[in-house]
Structure 1
Amino acid sequence: MRLKYLLILLVSIIALLFAGCNDDDVVPEETDPDTDTSFSIPTYDDDYSSIASWSYRSQWNLANVHDPSVAYYDGYYYMYGTDASYGNEAAGHGHFQGKRSTDLVNWKWVGGPFYDPPSWVADSLNAIRSRMGLDAIAEDNISYGYWAPVVRKVTVGGQEKLRMYYSIVIDNFIKTGAVNTSANFDGSWTERAFIGMCESTDPAGAVWEDKGFVTCSSSDRGLDYSRSSYTGDWSAYFYYNAIDPTYIVTPEGDHYLIHGSWHSGFALLQVDPASGKPLNTLGEPYASSVSELTARYGVRIGTRSASSRWQGSEAPEIIYKDGYYYLFMAYDGLDIPYNTRVVRSTNIEGPYLDITGRNFTNGRGDCYPIVTHPYKFNLSYGWVGLSHCSVFKKEDSDDWFYMSQGRLPENVGGNAYSNAIMMGHVRRIVWCPASPDEPDNLWPIALPERYAAVPDYGTITKDSLVGTWEHINLKYSFGQQDVATTLNLNADGSMTGALTGNWSYDVTNKQLKLGDVIVCVEREVDWEASPRCVTFVYAGTQKSLNTTYWGKMKK
C-alpha cells in the first residue's frame, strides 16, 4: 500500500508541475517528490503595466529593473539600478532603489541610498567650472540624472559592508550652464558626469554613508568644449565618460574601478582598498593630449572602434575566473538593439581579446561571442533591449549568473509605450567550448530562458533530447529580433529543419554537439508556454561562427 501511495503521489505532483508539458523525459521517473514540494514556477505577467504605479511596488518582483548590479550580503542578494521606471512612477521616491532576494527568483523592493542629490556633486561641478573660467550653475538649475550603480561586498577594517559606486550625470550645457534642450543650444557639449561612492552595513534599512567624489568625465581637448551642431556631431568633448562603473578585486588584492560609455572607451582606474578612492591624484579633468589625460584618469583597456569618439559600446562588467578577467559589455542603443558581448584577458590591463583573437583593447571591430541579443521564441512577443548586465556567482557555489533588464518590443498589445516596460531577467551562464578541438577553452553564454530555480531532476539522457526544438541563430542584426525556427533532433542522430547533419551528446558534460558546434544543455522553465513548464534549453557558440545558438525543446 505504501508503494502504491508513493507512486500515486509522484504522478500527481508531476502532473501539477508540468501541466501542458508533453515530454515525459523532462522529469525522470526517479524524481523524489520529497525534494520537490517547495518548487513553483513564477506566474507573474511580463507586462506589468497594470501594477507599475508606486503604490504597487510590493508586487513588482522584477518589474521596473534597469541596469542592475547584484551583490550578496548578510543572507540576501541585493540589486540596485538606474533611476528608471515605466511611466516614471518611481520618480521622487529616492535614488538607486533596489530589491533583494534569497533565491534569485522572488524579489522584494528596498530603498536606495539617498533621496536628494549629494551636495558634493554641485560643489565639485562648480569648482571645476570656476577653474575653467565659467560661471557657476545655480544648484536649483542643475539637471541631474542617476545612472548605473555597481555594488560589491567588501571587507574594510575587518567589517563586511556593501560598497556602491554610482553615476550622476549633469545635463546642462558647458558654455552657459543652460539645461539641455534644442532651444537652449549654445554651441557646446553638455556637462560632465560624476562617479561617487557610498557604503552600508544596513542595506535592508536603506542606511548608507556617502563618501563623495571618486572621478568624473575627463577630456583630452583642454578647454575646447565647442560643438558644431546640436545633432549630428559625434566628436565628443569627453574622452572618458564617467558612467557605468564596474568594480573588481584581483586575486592579488588590488582594487580597480572600470567605467565608460560610448565616447572613447573604457578606463581602468586603481582605487585604494580601504577608502575606495583613486590611489593617485587625478588633477584637472581636462588635458591637452590623450597621454597626459590617461596618465592621471586611467589607462584605456577597450574600445569598439579606436577611431571613433562615439563608438557604441558601454556598461562594462568584469569578473575573474580560472586565470582570466572576463569583460562583458553592451553594444548599441538601449531601447531595442542592445546586445551583450564578452572579451577576456589574463591581465587586468589587457589586452582583452575575443573568442577569435580580435583585440578589443585596440578597437579591432565587433567582438564575439554574443552573450545576449534581442530574440523571439514562438508564442510570444519576445524581448529586446537586453543588456547592461551584472554578472555574479551564486553564494557557496561555482554557478554564475547574468542579470539585465529586458524590454518588450514596441506596440505590444496595442500599447504605444510597451518598449518602456523593463523586466529584470536573471539567467544562468553556461561555459561552453570555443570549438570541438578546444574542450577546455570555455566561454560564458547566457541561457535563453530565465532562471526559475528548477530543481536537479537527475541525469539528462540522450534519449530525452530527441524531439522538436525551437532553435534561434542568435546573430548580430541591428535593431532586429532573432526569431526561432524548428529543429528536429532525430533518434538516429540526424538533424532536420534549422540545422542539418548529425548530432551527438556527451552526457557527462551535458554538451550537445550540433554539427561542429557544441552547446550546453540545462533544464529551465519555458516562459512562453501556457501554462509555463520545465523544458530543456541549450546555449553555445563556435569561435568562427560569429553567432550563438540558443534553443529550447518545443512543447
Structure 2
Amino acid sequence: MKKKLFLILFASIFIAYGCSKDSDTPDDSKKTEEEEKEEEMFPDYVAPTYADDYASIASWDLRARWNLANVHDPSVVYDGKYYYMYGTDASYGNAHDGHGHFLYRKSEDLVNWKFEGMAMSQTPEWVVDTLNDQRSRVGLDPITNPVFGHWAPSVRKVGDKYRMYYSIVVDNYIGNGLPNTAENFDYTWTERAYIGMMESTSLLMNTWEDKGMVVCSVSDRGNDWSRDSRNDWSGYFKFNAIDPSYIVTPEGEHWLIYGSWHSGIAAIQLDAETGLPLNEFDINNESTWGKPLYTRSSGSRWQASEGPEVVYNENTGYYYMFLAYDELSVAYNTRVCRSRNVDGPYYSYDGSDITNGGEIYPIITHPYAFKNHSGWVGISHCGVFQNETTGEWFYSSQGRLPANTGGNAYSNAIMMGQVRKIRWTEDGWPVVMPERYAAAPEKEISEDELLGSWEHITLNYSFQNQQTSVSLNLSSDHKASGALTGTWSFDATKKILTIGSTQLCVERELDWEADPRELTIVYSGISGNGRSLWGKKVN
C-alpha cells in the first residue's frame, strides 16, 4: 500500500505562540506609504487574517475557528450559493477521530470557510461484508474489525443531485488479517481498497444515500499475496482503488478515473443513471478493471504518482489530467498532461505519449518559499473546479508547513487548505498562481504597477527541497534584469507580461508573506522545458 498509510503519525500537540513588544519598537500604528496607497486604491478590501500555523486552534473543540485548517485531498463543488469542500480523514493531532468521516466545509467567496463537520457518520456495512466475502472465496478467515482509512473523495453535481465517490482502505494484512504493524507482519501484503459512491440532493442538509461499491483493488497475481519484507513495494494489486476523479463529458458520457502508485491510473466508464460501472466490475476479469491511462515507470508497481484529477476545458477542447507526484508530506508536486479524449492517450508538454511510462510536464506546483515566510511543502493532490458564472478556474490542495516551523517539531502535520487561481496559456496549458486566492479587487492592472523589484521562483524538480526566490527587476525603459532578462511588455487587456520570449499570466493577489498582508501583483507562466515560473512584486 502506498505511503499515504503514514498520513497521520503525529501526537496531538498544540502550541500557542505569543510575542512581546519592546519599548523601543517602532509605532505599528504609523502606516507605510504602500499601505496608504493601497487603502486609497482599495478602500473596502479587507485581507484574510487567519494564521497559516493553526496549531493553537487545531482541537475538535475549536473547530468553529478552523476556516481552511485540516484540509487534505480536497474536492470542491458549487450548489448555487455555497462552495463545498470535502477531503480525506486527516487532521493535526488526529482531532477528527471518532467524529465520522470526510471532513467538509462551505464558503460563499472561496476565502472564508465554515467547517461543517463530517459527510459520513460511519463506514458503510457493505465494506466489511464485501471484504469478508472476497476473503472467504480464497479460504481466508474474516476480519471482524478492520482498520480503515477514509481518503480522497470526489464530489460532482449531476442534474439535480450530487455524487460523492470515496476511498476506503483496509489496513490489515491479507494473510493473518491483523492490523498493519511491524509486530503483526506475516510476509503478506495489506488488504484491498474500495471506491464507493453515495448521492445527495442537498449538500446543505448533508443527507447522503450510499449506493455501494463501484470498484475495488484488483490483482493479476492470483493468490500469491506473499511479500519479501515491509520494504518490498512491488504491489500485489495491479490497480489501487483509491483517489477517484469523476467527470461527465460534453457528449454525456460518465467516467471514473482512479488509481495510485502500484501500476498507475485507469479509467472506467460509468452508467449515467446509476453512477456504477457501465459494464459489470469483476475482480476476476481484467477487461472490466478499466483502461490504463498512465504509468510513471513501465513495469513498476511503485509509481510515486497518484491523485488523478481530470477536467475538460471547452475553450481549449482538451481533457487535462492533473497528478500528484512523490510522497505527500514534503515532496508532493503537481504535474499535468492533456488529451483530446477522456480515455487518452494523454500527452506531456513535449508532445510525448505517456500512457506506457514517462515523466509528465509541466510542473505546476512544487515545494517553495518566498522571503519572510517558511514557505510550503506537500502541495498537491488537487481538486480543480470552475466558477460557472465567471468562467474562472481554480486549483485547491493542501499545503504543509516545513518541519520545525516556529520551533514546532510537528509542524509538517499542519495541513492548510489552499485555493489558487488557474490561468491558461495561449497554447492551452494551465498555470497556477503563486499566491493563494484572497478575492483581490478586480481593478485593471496598469503597466506602472509592474515597475520595480520582484521575487522570482522557477519550479524546477528537486525531491523534498523547496525552491526559493531570486531577484528580478523591471525598469521603466522596459528592460528586465536578474532572474529573467530582455525587453518586457505588458498587454493589460489579456493580463500578459512578456519578458523576452516568455509569456507570463498576471493577476492581482494578496501577498501572504507580507506583514501585514497586502495586495500585490503576481505572475505565473511555463518555461520552454515545462517548469512553472512564479513571480511576486515586492516594491
Using structure 1 for the length normalisation, give the TM-score: 0.89
The gaps in structure 1 that reach 5 residues or longer are 1-15, 287-291, 434-440
Per the alignment, in what secondary structure is the counterpart of residue 85 of structure 2?
Answer: strand
CA contact under 8 A between 1:86 and 1:422: conserved in structure 2? yes
Aligned match for 2:134, one of 110, 128, 144: 128
1:523-542 matched pairs, under 5 angstroms: 523-542=508-527
User: Deviations for 1:230-259, whole angstroms, at most 9, x for unmatched residues?
Assistant: 11x121111100000000000010100001
Instruction: Write out per-residue CA displacement over residues 208-234 of structure 1, whole angstroms, 9 at most, x where no aligned residue.
Output: 111111110011112111111111x12
Counterpart of 1:339 in structure 2 is 333
The reply to whether residue 504 of structure 1 matches residue 489 of structure 2 is yes
Contact conserved, 1:26 with 1:535, CA < 8 A, in 2? no
Q: CA deviation at 1:526?
A: 0.2
Alignment of 1:461-500 (within 5 A): 461-500=446-485
Shift of 1:25: 8.3
In the alignment, what sits opposite 1:7?
none
1:145 aligns with 2:129: no
Contact 1:26 1:464 in 2 (8 A): no
1:361 is paired with a residue whose SS is coil
Match of 2:246, SS?
strand
Which whole-Å CA distance do the structure 2 matches of 1:21 and 1:260 have between them?
52
CA–CA separation in structure 2 for the residues paired with 1:20 and 1:57: 35
- Aligned mate of 1:419, from 407, 412, 435: 412
Distance 1:466 1:189 in 2: 58
Q: Partners of 2:140 and 2:524 in 1: how far apart?
A: 53
Structure 1 residue 26: Cα displacement: 7.0
Quote the offset at 1:23 in angstroms: 8.8
Which residue type is aligned with residue 520 of structure 1?
Answer: C
Separation in structure 1 between the aligned mates of residue 117 and residue 92 of structure 2, nearest angstrom:
18
1:351 paired residue among 345, 348, 351? 345
Identity %: 56
Partner of 1:382: 375
Classify 1:495/1:200 alpha carbon distance in 2 versus 1 (closer, same or farther; 3 Å).
same
Whole-Å Cα distance in 2 between the matches of residues 279 and 193 of structure 1? 20
Rounded Cα–Cα distance in structure 2 between residues aligned with 1:127 and 1:423: 39
Runs of 4+ in structure 1 over 6 Å off: 23-27
CA distance in 2, matches of 1:183, 1:532: 49
Aligned to 2:532: 548
What residue number does 1:54 align with? 60
1:268-300: CA deviation from partner (whole Å, max 9, x where unpaired): 0111111111111112x24xxxxx51x111001
CA RMSD of aligned residues (A): 1.8
**What pairs with 1:139-538 in structure 2 (closer than 5 Å)?**
140=145, 142-155=146-159, 160-231=160-231, 233-283=232-282, 285-286=283-284, 293=286, 295-322=287-314, 323-363=317-357, 365-433=358-426, 441-458=427-444, 460-538=445-523
Letter aligned with residue 412 of structure 1: T
> CA-to-partner distance for each residue in 1:345-391, whole Å, 9 max, x for gaps?
0011111001111222121x211111111010000000000000000
- d(CA) in 2 for partners of 1:21 and 1:514? 28
Determine helix, strand or coil for the equivalent of 2:34: coil
Residue identity in the other structure for 1:450:
R
Supply the distance in 2 between the matched residues of 1:23 and 1:462 (Cα, whole angstroms). Answer: 20
Report the Cα offset of residue 395 of structure 1. 3.3
Distance 1:389 1:350, change over 3 A: same
Q: C-alpha displacement at 1:516, in angstroms?
A: 2.1
Deviation of 1:204 after TM superposition, in Å, equals 2.1
Question: 1:12 is matched with which residue?
Answer: none
Q: Is contact 1:244-1:261 (8 Å) kept?
A: yes
The 1-side partners of 2:361 and 2:501 are apart by 18
1:265, 1:300 within 8 Å by CA — same for their partners in 2? yes
Q: 1:437 is matched with which residue?
A: none
What amino acid maps onto 2:34 in structure 1?
N
Shift in Å at residue 137 of structure 1? 1.2
| C-alpha contact 2:438 2:510 (8 A) present in aligned 1 | yes
Opposite residue 166 of structure 2, the aligned amino acid is Y
| Comparing 501-510 and 102-111, the one that deviates more | 501-510
Kindly tell me: are residues 508 and 114 of structure 1, through their superposed partners in 2, closer, same or farther at Cα, counting changes over 3 Å?
closer
| SS of the residue 1:96 aligns to | strand
Query: Aligned-pair distance for 1:185?
Result: 1.1
SS at match of 1:183: coil
Does the 8 Å contact 2:104/2:119 carry over to 1? Answer: no
Q: Which residue of 2 aligns with 1:11?
A: none
TM-superposed deviation, 1:130: 1.1
How far, CA to CA, are the matches of 2:142 and 2:154 in structure 1? 30
- How far the C-alpha of 1:21 sits from its partner, in A, is 6.6
2:75 is the counterpart of 1:89: no
Find the aligned partners of 2:321 and 2:536 in 1 and give their Cα distance.
27
